[in-house]
Amino acid sequence: MHKEDQLVERIARKVPSILGHRASGVLRLGIGDDSAILSPGGRSDWVLSCDAFLEGVHFLAKAHPPDSVGYKSLVRAASDLVAMGASPRYFLMTLALPASRIGTWLDAFLAGMARAARYLGMRLIGGDTTKSRSVSISITVLGEVSRERALNRSGARPGDLIYVTGKLGRAQLGLELVRANLVRRSGLQDVLRQHLYPRIPVKLGEWLARSQAASAIMDISDGLSTDLARLCSASRVGARIEADRLPCVAVPANLFREATKPKFSALQLALHGGDDYGLLLTVLPQRTKTLQRAPGFSSLTCIGQITSGRKILLIGGDSAKPLAARGWDPFTRK
């Protein structure tokens, strides 16, 4: 278990809360998934989540464009709603920043956030502002889903097929370019896009909630190896992943100078890279034909299968090795 997961569990046990999937009354789902679910009555349930975006932890003020910071802070928060099959609706923002960022930087930040709000169909409904030594953003998002149709990560069963959306490792590759000061190099816009201005599969998430084609689902925010471990833990199952099936990002040749060339492979990026904000889902084999009708089905790749044991194995050639959770964890980052 990652240190971040241990911290969340510790907090939930010390403070009056709903830990795991026990719920009652209006609350249908509490701590332990991508979002909480409230069922106040009527035809819809409300899905809520919050997300922090901090200077020096999640972005570098001197390297990341301010419009990207604004755009991404909202999209990454809304990804938790999409992972439950909810339609993004509203958000609140707490913004703390130095006085030196109130001018041009803030204007660009807000322009990026406005772009994300239009893309997602969301509206800002409140929040708070204050002064701080560094930029600190906290976003609370609210989404809507048909009553009792919200998806979660605890329904995977042995034999289910495992799917992911998009190319894995795209955002991590973009981060490596930022760290190498290559943001402004011409011809790299496509490589940088998923890191700076991520797109998330909103329509696919909504369709999965309506069709109930997925048995379990979550977003890939901290890397496949880490988020698959969380899904398997919630569902009390294991998994087998086929290395040659993984839709790995293509790393352009001669992208980095030899002196600054990072030591990673496309497979490592796909397994452990964070920030992709795609979907990880499991599907009963007999529901695969239904899945083919999903919007954006062409972006889906079957990468393995759920097993009855609790181990997560990476299959490559004739070998089967345990897949360690080596994705993003803010409490173990160097």
CA–CA distance, 179 with 263 (Å, rounded to integer): 13
CA–CA distance, 325 with 95 (Å, rounded to integer): 32
pLDDT for 334 equals 46
pLDDT digits 0-9 by tens, 23-51: 566 776 767 666 788 888 778 999 999 99
Q: Of 251, 249, 239, 247, which is closest to residue 315 (Cα–Cα)? A: 239
Note whether 169 and 313 are same-domain residues. Answer: yes
DSSP E strand stretches across 132-266 = 136-146, 161-165, 216-220, 238-242
pLDDT for 33 equals 66
In a domain, 30, yes or no: yes
The CATH number of residue 254's host domain is 3.90.650.10
pLDDT for 240 equals 97
pLDDT for 39 equals 81
Note whether 178 and 313 are same-domain residues. Answer: yes
Note whether 236 and 129 are same-domain residues. Answer: no
Mean pLDDT, to the nearest integer, of 215-219?
96
pLDDT digits 0-9 by tens, 232-285: 999 999 999 999 999 999 887 767 665 455 567 899 999 999 899 999 999 999
DSSP E strand stretches across 173-299 = 216-220, 238-242, 278-283
In a domain, 88, yes or no: yes
Cα 64 from chain centre? 19
Residue 241, both tokens: 């992943």
In a domain, 92, yes or no: yes
Average of per-residue pLDDT values in the chain: 89
Mean pLDDT, to the nearest integer, of 188-208?
93
pLDDT for 145 equals 95
pLDDT for 322 equals 95
In a domain, 3, yes or no: no
- Among 93, 114, 146, identify where a domain stops: 146
Note whether 33 and 123 are same-domain residues. Answer: yes
Q: Of 313, 301, 302, which is closest to residue 238 (Cα–Cα)? A: 313
Side-chain-facing half-sphere of 45: CA atoms under 13 Å: 24
Q: Which domain holds residue 165?
A: 161-322
In a domain, 156, yes or no: no
Cα 240 from chain centre? 21
Note whether 63 and 100 are same-domain residues. Answer: yes
Note whether 307 and 172 are same-domain residues. Answer: yes
Note whether 140 and 224 are same-domain residues. Answer: no
Query: How many structural domains are present in the chain?
Result: 2
How does residue 177 score in pLDDT terms, banded at 50, 70 and 90? confident
Between residues 212 and 260, which one has the greater pLDDT?
A: 212
Note whether 214 and 128 are same-domain residues. Answer: no
Other Cβ atoms within 10 Å of 272 Cβ, number? 22
The CATH number of residue 66's host domain is 3.30.1330.10
CA–CA distance, 248 with 310 (Å, rounded to integer): 25
pLDDT digits 0-9 by tens, 140-156: 999 999 998 999 999 99
Q: Is the pTM of this model over 0.85?
A: yes
Note whether 85 and 30 are same-domain residues. Answer: yes
CB 67 within 8 A of CB 109: yes
In a domain, 75, yes or no: yes
CB 306 within 8 A of CB 157: yes
CA–CA distance, 268 with 273 (Å, rounded to integer): 7
In a domain, 334, yes or no: no
Is the per-residue pLDDT at 87 higher than 70?
A: yes
Note whether 200 and 302 are same-domain residues. Answer: yes
